[in-house]
Every structure is written in C-alpha cells, then in structure tokens.
Amino acid sequence: LAKTTQPISMDSYEGQEVNITCSHNNIATNDYITWYQQFPSQGPRFIIQGYKTKVTNEVASLFIPADRKSSTLSLPRVSLSDTAVYYCLVGGSNQAGTALIFGKGTTLSVSS
C-alpha cells in the first residue's frame, strides 16, 4: 500500500483558503486518492476522492498532478467548524484483502 506524508498541523484564520498537500510517491496505477475529515470523538467523514487532474464538490477541491505522486486538498474560505484532522489515503485498488490505512493526518486549527 502506498505510504502518504502530510504535514502534522496547520493553522489558519476564518475566511482563508487552506491547502493541505499530501505526498504519495509509490502510488499504484489502480489506486485512488481519498481525503477524510475527523472531528474529536467522531468517525472520519469522506470528503473527496480523485484519480487524476481536478475534482470539486460542494465541500472541497482536490488537485492531482499528472504524475499522481502528490495531491492537494483545498478548502475554500474555512470557518471555525473546519477545525479537524484531515487524512489523506491512497488505496482501494482491486486487490483482495486491502483496506484503507490511516496515517497521523493533518490537524487543522482555524481561528477567528
């Protein structure tokens, strides 16, 4: 399974755009990139998933360069409620017995 590297923590202010970059140099051809958000004492929540180029939904955008060795989660105009841990995961390929492995994630702190 591809290992991911992302910053341990980030700080931001309300209204700013936040970009969290994740490195995954050993991503496999069939692997997708998925981001989750987790609030304290809650289960992780799926935010966005992509394979290549750019994906956008109502919550975030995901930018993936052509070599797919990294990805950037972009959160537009964050609010205090976006304070959470964000996990970048790579996997979901069609191999029996695989499961998404979570790293330490990035703790995003949003201040007023």
Partner 1 sequence: DSGVTQTPKHLITATGQRVTLRCSPRSGDLSVYWYQQSLDQGLQFLIHYYNGEERAKGNILERFSAQQFPDLHSELNLSSLELGDSALYFCASSVHFGDARTNYGYTFGSGTRLTVV
Residues lying near partner 1 in the complex (CB under 8 A) are found at 30-32, 34, 36, 41-46, 49, 51, 87, 91-94, 96-105
Q: Find out whether 77 and 95 touch, Cβ atoms under 8 Å.
A: no
Q: Which two tokens stand for residue 81?
A: 């409620």
**CB closer to partner 1 out of 41 and 112:** 41
* Residue number with CB closer to partner 1 (13 or 51): 51
Burial bucket for residue 91 (CB in 10 Å: 0-12, 13-18, 19+): buried
99 phi, psi to nearest 5 deg: -145, 155
CB of 81 to partner 1, least distance (A): 18
Q: Between 10 and 28, whose beta carbon lies closer to partner 1?
A: 28
